[in-house]
Amino acid sequence: MKTLVVAGTGTGVGKTLISAILVKALKADYWKPIQSGDLENSDSHTVQKLVDDDTVIHPETYRLKNPLSPHRAAEMEGLEIDPAQIKIPHTSNHLIIELAGGLMVPLNKRTLNIDLLEKWQSPVVLVSQNYLGSINHTLLSVASLKKYNVPLAGIIFNGEENSSTENFILEYCSVRCLGKIRTLHTVTPGIVNGLAATLLPNLDKI
């Protein structure tokens, strides 16, 4: 069974949408280890709404009230995130893991998201979005994964198309494009289902 980690090159690039599409495509379980902010309408809730009702959504290890970096959100509640407590759920199914933020986001004063990935060694699906600076952010993310010896399954581009940017990133990094999800003004379960069908052939090759 596949365990894939969805990471973004920055904030707001569409990790949750991509996670929902991957969950639907693979009929997978979903897990977000750390939720920071919006606990009544969390990313887990969003994925549940966009995929089948019988999809297994594993509970977060940490649920933090403030929409901040996990280390700061935890500090504000008098907590320190303990990476040893963040354990991949046991399941006989495929599993999609959505990170809280990007690769270098701190969990505490000593630990970054990428330290978890180095330990888990699960392939990463990197979500990139076209904006001024996205080439830099994407290349830095790929370089960080290589430095930490974390496998990269491929990149999914989400949002407005920029073929020049996308082609440069793919060629420079020698990485696979797993899909291109263009700007969606409305997101429904039906749309997620259609997009999942288009991505599935590429996921079979991971």
CA distance 20 to 170: 24
Average pLDDT of the residues in 94-113: 96
Residue 206's pLDDT is what? 86
User: Domain limits of the chain?
Assistant: 3-203
CA distance 92 to 28: 10
Residue 54's pLDDT is what? 85
Q: Which two tokens stand for residue 157?
A: 């581009």
Beta carbons within 10 angstroms of residue 170's beta carbon = 17
Per CATH, which fold does 3-203 belong to?
Answer: Rossmann fold (3.40.50)
Residue 97's pLDDT is what? 98
Residue 38's pLDDT is what? 87
Average per-residue pLDDT for the chain: 96
CA distance 34 to 168: 33
Considering only residues 15 and 206, tell me which one the structure prediction assigns the higher pLDDT.
Answer: 15
- When pLDDT is cut at 50, 70 and 90, the band that residue 205 belongs to is confident
Residue 11's pLDDT is what? 86
pLDDT tens across 44-89, in order? 999 999 997 789 999 999 999 999 999 999 999 999 999 999 999 9
Residue 32 is a catalytic residue? yes
Residue 204's pLDDT is what? 84
Residue 186's pLDDT is what? 94
Q: Which of 32, 109, 146, 180 is catalytic?
A: 32
Q: How far is CA 46 from CA 32, 80, 154, in A?
A: 12, 26, 24
CA 100 to chain centre: 8
CA distance 32 to 99: 6
Q: How far is CA 70 from CA 36, 100, 103, 121, in A?
A: 6, 7, 12, 21
